[in-house]
Structure 1
Amino acid sequence: MPTALITGASAGLGAEFARQLADRGADLVLVARSEDALQALAAELRASHGVAVEVLVADLAEEQHVDRVAQRIADAGHPIDLLVNNAGFGLPLHFADNEIADEVRHLRVHVEAPMRLMHAALGAMRGRGGRIINVASVAGFISRSTYSACKAWLIGFSRWANGEYAVDGVTVTALCPGFVHTTFHSRMGLGAGQEGVPRFLWLDAPFVVRQGLRAAARGRSVVIPSLRYKAVVAGSRLVPRALTTRIARRGRM
């Protein structure tokens, strides 16, 4: 059976990726900081789907932890067929007011860790085949402090890598949702209607994950789930950058 490694797997989109992939019969390697949450999810998936589930506790802001995950990806004896780079967290949008240590940690988790894990995956997958899904955001198309900049890098790199390594049998897909009902926002004490964002703009995690898996299967480099967010991205290209920046201060896409 194929094996998928998912970062940020303890909750939110990561846990939903795990459930949908287990439902398809994939074995799993679950990566996150919370061992208790990972073990609970692993037990659930083993019992409900009969798949093999490996737990790997790691903080992707720590270099030695990223090294351990990269080594697991590079293990030719237990190959990874799908890498889902999903781990992430949010910060207040006011960069100058944030602690620089927090911003550096944010950059490591959102850019450095996915880059290093992709490097390990490409080394293991080239010629054999495989898929990489990078969970980005529609924020990557709009100016929104360092979160937007990190996601823009992930989108741009995914687009290039998908074209570059398709000849080797490896696809790379950037999944770019908007606001999703997950613990990403609730961990900050926020939810639908609490960020100045209309309820119709919120997406459900199962829908977002299905769209990501479908796009990866089709070899697409970038996917924006739902017509409403495709319209948001298209509209952002037609208005002055200063205006989109002011609008983007609302919410945490």
Structure 2
Amino acid sequence: TARLAETGESIFQQKCSSCHSIGGGDRSTGPDLKGVTEERDRQWLMRVIREPDELIAENDPQMAALMEEYNLAMPDLGISKSEAEALLAYLEYPGEEQHAAGEAGVPTEVEMAAGDVARGRQLYVGEIPFEKGGAPCLACHGFDKIGPAGAANYGGDLTGLWASYGEEGVRSILVDLPFPSMTPIYAERPLTEAERADLAAFFEASTGIEAPGSVAGFTVKAIGGAALLFVVALFAGWRRIKSVRRSLVKKSLD
């Protein structure tokens, strides 16, 4: 169990600590997981860890309550069954008295120097390359009104990232980049401290911008599109009426 818990601790730090603490209190991005193995059913926890998207699709009441409380959907991190079991072992015994590699069970708060907004934008779009060779964010993630690839959709649009995850969540994500599609890209090419600070500053400065595809943004675009279609249809109909009238006039003269 001790060895399994050590493995679970490593996985927790890599994939979970961006949003959760153990004994450090709830965050804006997710609940404190201290004692969660006593409060929740083990099989449910296994599913939450491995297939949160399926629980959401099934309208699971416990998952629905968490989503309502935190206004976030837990992402599928591609965690295997053995990794999930290791995580649960760590969550059950997170203290150093239970396993050799144990620490306090509370992730260290991520501290970051003030960043440069303009430089963060340049890093995001790829005008400035990441020092260690990672791909620019815009290659996969759209961002409101940015560059020719502003509608990239391989990954989610990040316009509202800061508003959704808050300072603590964003800074932690930039350190770990725990998502399955990002791990192969950045595992050997992590962001530098300065790059993380600049990107965080850029995300913070963009707070309040409506993300493409949001309800409000969609409504405005839908209304605009409907109005344009109405004008086009009206113009086409007017031309058709004129054509019919000319045909009728011609026939009457004949």
Q: Please give the TM-score of this superposition, normalised by the length of structure 1.
A: 0.28
Indicate the structure (1 or 2) with the bigger Cα radius of gyration.
2
Q: Larger relative CO (CA 8 A, sep 6+): 1 or 2?
A: 2
Task: Give the structure with the higher percent strand.
Answer: 1
